[in-house]
Each structure stands twice: as C-alpha cells, then as structure tokens.
A and B are shown apart, each in its own frame.
Chain A
Amino acid sequence: MATYSASDLDYQRLLKAARRLSLPQSAPTIRIAILADCATQQLALLLRVLLGEAGLRAEVYEAPFAAIELESCAPDSGLYRFAPDAVIVLNCAQALRAAHACQGNEQADFAAQHLARIVGVWAAVQSHCEAMILQSTFALPPDSPYGNFGLSVPGSLRASVAVLNAGIAAAARDCARVRIHDVEGVASWVGRDRFFDERAWDLWKAPCSLEELPRVANNMVSVLLALRGGVVKCVVTDLDNTLWGGVIGDDGLDGIVLSAHGGGAGESYVRLQQFLKQLRARGVLLAVCSKNEATTALAPFLEHPDMVLRRDDISVFVANWEDKASGIRRVRDELGIGLDSMVFLDDSPFERNLVRELLPEVIVPELPEDPSRFVAFLSELNLFETAYLSSEDRQRAALYQHEAQRRVVAAQSASVQDYLRSLDMQAVLARFDRFHMPRIAQLMQRSNQFNLCTRRLSEAQCAALAEDQAFIPLYAKLADRLGDHGLISVVVLERDEQALLVRDWLMSCRVLARGVEQFLMNYVVAQAARFGLRRVIGEYIPTAKNAMVRDFFAQFGFTRVSATGDQWALEVAAYRPVETFIRLVDPGTAIQAVEVP
C-alpha cells in the first residue's frame, strides 16, 4: 500500500531509496507511460520508488518532452510500442501559461481550445491502446495581472485554468478509461507558494518544486493502486477517545465528549464521525472494535442525540475484553474481506502497535493526539482513494443532482416566503433533558440580543427546572436541507391558575428571520389553549443589548398590562397562528412530557 505519513515523501529519502530498491521476483509489473509538457526524469524515478514500496515493479516509458499530441496520435509511436497499462498525461500550468502568453492573452475561447486538445489526446490513446489514462488538472498559477479581479476576466489565465479544470473533470466523467490525478489538489494542499518553483521551471522545466514532486508522484500512485483494486473496503474503529471523548464505561452517556454545536473537542469527534459516515455512504464498510461491555458500547449509538453514526451504520460491532487483533480477525471473517483492505483507527499507541505487530497487513495510521486533527490527517494520507463509483455513490450522485436543481429553483424563487418554504425546515421541540443541558446553559449564559428576560441560569439551575413540574422548560432544535443548526432556542413556561407565563425566551441570532419564534409562539399559545388557560403573559426586561426584541410581544398581538412596566398579555382566544414553514418532527417522549403539567 501507499505511504502512511508525510515524512515518507521526503525527496532526498526517495532518491536514496531508488538506489536500494529491490523487489522479489514474484512482484507484479505495471507498465506506465508518461506524456508531459515538462521534464519527467525525476517524476519517473519517484514513480518507480513509490510503486516499488507498494510492492509493484514499475516499468516506465518517458515520451519525448512536450510530445503529448505527437506520441498519442501516431499509431507507431514509442508510446504504443511500449504497450502501457496506464498512460499518465501531465499538462502543466507553466506550459499553459506560455501558450496563453503566445496567443496574446485574454482569448475568450482559450480554455475551450485547450480542453479540446486534451480530450483529443484521450480519444487518440483510447483508439490505439487499452491503457487507462490518468489526466492531470492544472495548478492555479500565481500570476495575476488583474489581482483578485482576474477570475472575473474571461480568458485571463486564472479564469481559463478554473474553466479548464472543471471541463477536464466533467469530460472525464464520461470516459470509462480516464481518471483524474488532481495536481491542483496537491498544489492547494501544500500552498501554491511552495508548490511552484519558477527557477526549477526556467532552468530544467520541472513541473513544481522538487520538494513537492513526491506528493505529485504519490498522488498518481494512489490512483494507480486504486485502479488495481487496492482500495480500503473497511474501517475498523475504536470507540473511547476515538469516536467520542472520554470513556463511556466511566463517564456515562451524558459524560462523554461529543457535541455537534457545543464547541471544543465534542465537535472534533462529530467531524470524524461525519467523515466516516461519508465513507459509509460511499460503500466503505464500518466496524467497531472496542474494549467494553457490549451494552455499554452500544448505548451511544442508540441513545446519544449527537452521535452521527448509528447502529445500522456499523456492519460488525465487536465490544469485549479480548485483544484487538482478535476483534479485527472477527471483522475480517464476518465480512469476508482481506486484512490488507482494512484501516484500523485507535487513539491508543499501545493498541495500534499491537495490531501492527500481530496483523501487519492492516493499515494502521498514526492518529495525531489532537482529535481536531483526525480528519485532516486521514485526508492527507489519502487512504480512501477510489477508482470506481459504487451503486450507492451513483444513487447519491443522482440525489445531489436533484438537490442542485432544487437549489437553482430556490435561487430563482422570488419571495422570502418561497425561499423559506424551499428550505424544508424541521424543528425538534422538547422538554430540557440531560443531553442538551450544557448547550442550554451555554445559550442561557451567552445570548444577549434575542433574550427577553436575560436570566443567566446555570446548568444546575436548568437541571432543577427540568425536574420541576410547575415549569415547562423547552428547547428547540432546527435543521434544514442546507444543514443542522442544532439547539437554537429556549423557552421556559410556567403554568398558573389562569395563565401560561413566559419566564424565559431566548434564541440564537444564527436563525433570525426564519420564523422560529413564530413557530414557537404558535406552539405556546396552542399549549395554553390545551390547558384551558385564557391568557399568555410575558415580560420584556430591557438591557443594553436586547432592543431587538423590544416589540416581540406586540408583534403577536399582546397588549401591555400596565402603563409603566413591560408586562404583556395575550388573550388566547384572540390569537391567530402565524404562517411558518417549519415542520415539527420527532415529537417522541419529550413532547408528551410537556403535556403532563
């Protein structure tokens, strides 16, 4: 398999490794031809080493400099006599820049012309041999005679590169034998300033800094290996301090660190779960291997509201006190896949080393200590390269297309009303519970503007409210088709003989103007009616920051109770519900609890 840490891509190390490269007789051979408009000697050498380290003997053919069209169009060229398994086409940005300068710049059809040339090369290669084609994208060049404006100038170099890259990707989608190797992706990852080396181009026609050339080569190798089927089929993951912070057995369901909106490490763990969920959706299987009691380990998957991964995302769930190598073997047996197609994620160096020791075929990334770096680290290793779309991918792709169409519709919709309707907003409304207590308290402490009474209740006080049956302490969560906003509003109601009293009402300003407060008021008044109460009474306590909600009660038809104070009352019978575009979902047990006073 490919290398698992960035330090393995050191240019000097690879030069030395090239000399010592020795492969067993049995090593399979891969024949690679390189067509490029830049120098390729170093690249060829790096490909040999990196493929060699992946267990493949690479035979490399370097076509003459800048002979991409010549070699691909002539049936008797060196390229076809070589009979390659794969043809790597590397069109570099510096050569494009030179062509752009030659044509007197700002030709509106410059990108189209070049795209036609590139696609023409694919057609020629496809008609003369059976090889797969790996096509580069163009690194966005640093030159910009227009500054920021460059992207807006049709035919400018930067605008052309952007158009070309999009065009290459779109055209490749329709060619079964063409895959992209994304040079622009490499350049933007390392930073263009480090990637481009104009001295190396001017002197030697090197496509980039030699320090970064191994990344370009390794990126090609990732695609080549994926084409040969060397893809990761399953991620086996630990639980405690890997999928969430803390130890579920000690800290319990509400003690583990995992939170979509709470700030801090809880969000880091959520992001890793989202990353794994994307892999799952792409067809990579997920398995759990944890030292835990099975019921304890399962609980978050079943009950924790911020778990992104759910029980049915996990194909094999191993939670026991045996060593992890045994657990991974069990996953292998149940799924019937090879150990070399499995990645093992674990925060513990002890477990990682044990698995490396006992199951050397399993890919064991050296996860960073800091969970906020997990996903970037895994992305950099590029462990999950794929060469083919699964049927799930295709379904998703279709889904995305529909989604894109929906967005176009939304963009065209004339009114705010239409837009809000198109958002498909869904709210969860429930009595305070222990999972949400930290976020509720956080909102209580922090929100200033949309806050009617600005009572700074602590987490303990919120917890006490939750237990007090005289009160109806509610939180609201909001999601729409563009994303999940999390817990965004808190309303605390108290029931007395005659009226429903609004004790607290606050909302995150992230969700202003979406109709959340109208949705909640409809609900509050409906509750009052259900309880047989005549009035809803609220209070606005002005502060230096909450002028935003000065007219909050007035807008719903409340009238001032006294001339001096800011007490407001509403006759329940007179209330007309406000139209909103929010759906109440997942009522569950919490809502029923509201109805029991």
Chain B
Amino acid sequence: MTQLNSIADRMSRIFRDVFDDDTISVRDDMTSADIAGWDSLSHINLIYAIEKEFRIVFTIGEAGGSLKNVGELRALIEKKTASKP
C-alpha cells in the first residue's frame, strides 16, 4: 500500500499547525524540549489534532504522556492505523 503522505509528513503538518511554526519537520528523536511552546496545554491540542487527522483514539495512558519521544508517537500511530479495517 502506497501512501501519498507518509505518517511523518502528516505529523509534521499537524505539529506546524499546533505549534504555529512552519519550519517544523518531525524527527523520531524529538521531545517536547525541542519544540518551543510544547507545554501541557498545547499537548492536549496536539493529541486531539492527531486523533482527528488519523481517525484514531489514544488511551488515557498514551494521551497522558507515557510516550518518550516523537518516534514512539509515530510508531503508535502506525500501529493504530494499521490495525484499523
């Protein structure tokens, strides 16, 4: 299955929107420390935006910050979108 937009590309677009910074390109090793404005408040908006874009739902643990970096977030999105019918 080929995807016109890779998950990382779609994530970058969401990050740019949420953090209002057109220069963001997500990398797996990124953490909240690497992005200006990634605080607890914008994290909520990020979670909602990702759920909406990928039509997935995070559990409370996943949404609440059990993920260490962007790579783990990307892997989780991959897993959740792949398991959808």
Contact = CB atoms under 8 A, between A and B. Distances in A.
Contacts of B44: 42, 200, 203-204, 206, 210
Interface in B22-72: 40-41, 44-45, 48-49, 52, 59-60, 63-64
Contact of B48 (A11, A16, A41): A11
A203 B17 contact: no
A204 B59 CA distance: 14
Contacts of B40: 204
A12 B63 contact: no
Nearest to B53: A12
Given A12-B49, A12-B52, A41 B41 contact: yes
Contacts of A200: 44
A16 B52 CA distance: 16
Interface residues of A, number: 15
Nearest to A20: B20
Contacts of A206: 44
B60 A199 contact: yes
B52 A203 contact: no
B70 to A, nearest CB: 20
A203 B20 CA distance: 24
Nearest to B48: A210
Contacts of B59: 199
A554 to B, nearest CB: 68
A559 to B, nearest CB: 75
Contact of A203 (B18, B49, B60): B60
A132 to B, nearest CB: 28
A14 to B, nearest CB: 11
A583 B63 CA distance: 68
Contacts of A12: 17, 48-49, 52
Contacts of B17: 12, 16
A11 B17 CA distance: 13
Nearest to B20: A19
Most buried by A among B18, B20, B41, B48: B48
Contacts of B18: 15
A312 interface: no
Contacts of A579: none
Contact of A199 (B20, B49, B63): B63
Interface string A189-203: 000000000011011
A369 interface: no
Contacts of A203: 44, 60, 63-64
A19 B21 CA distance: 12
A211 to B, nearest CB: 7
A474 to B, nearest CB: 62
A206 B52 CA distance: 18
Nearest to B57: A199
Nearest to A210: B48
Contacts of A211: 48
A206 to B, nearest CB: 7
A12 B18 CA distance: 9
- Determine which residue in A202, A204, A206 has the highest number of CB atoms from chain B within 10 A of its CB, and name it: A204
A202 B60 contact: yes
A405 to B, nearest CB: 50
Nearest to A15: B45
B16 to A, nearest CB: 11
Contacts of A11: 48
Given A200-B44, A202-B60, A206-B44, 6 more contacts: A11-B48, A12-B49, A15-B45, A199-B63, A203-B63, A203-B64
Interface of A: 11-12, 15-16, 19, 41-42, 199-200, 202-204, 206, 210-211
27 contacts: A11-B48, A12-B17, A12-B48, A12-B49, A12-B52, A15-B18, A15-B45, A16-B17, A19-B20, A41-B41, A42-B41, A42-B44, A199-B59, A199-B60, A199-B63, A200-B44, A202-B60, A203-B44, A203-B60, A203-B63, A204-B40, A204-B44, A206-B44, A210-B44, A210-B45, A210-B48, A211-B48
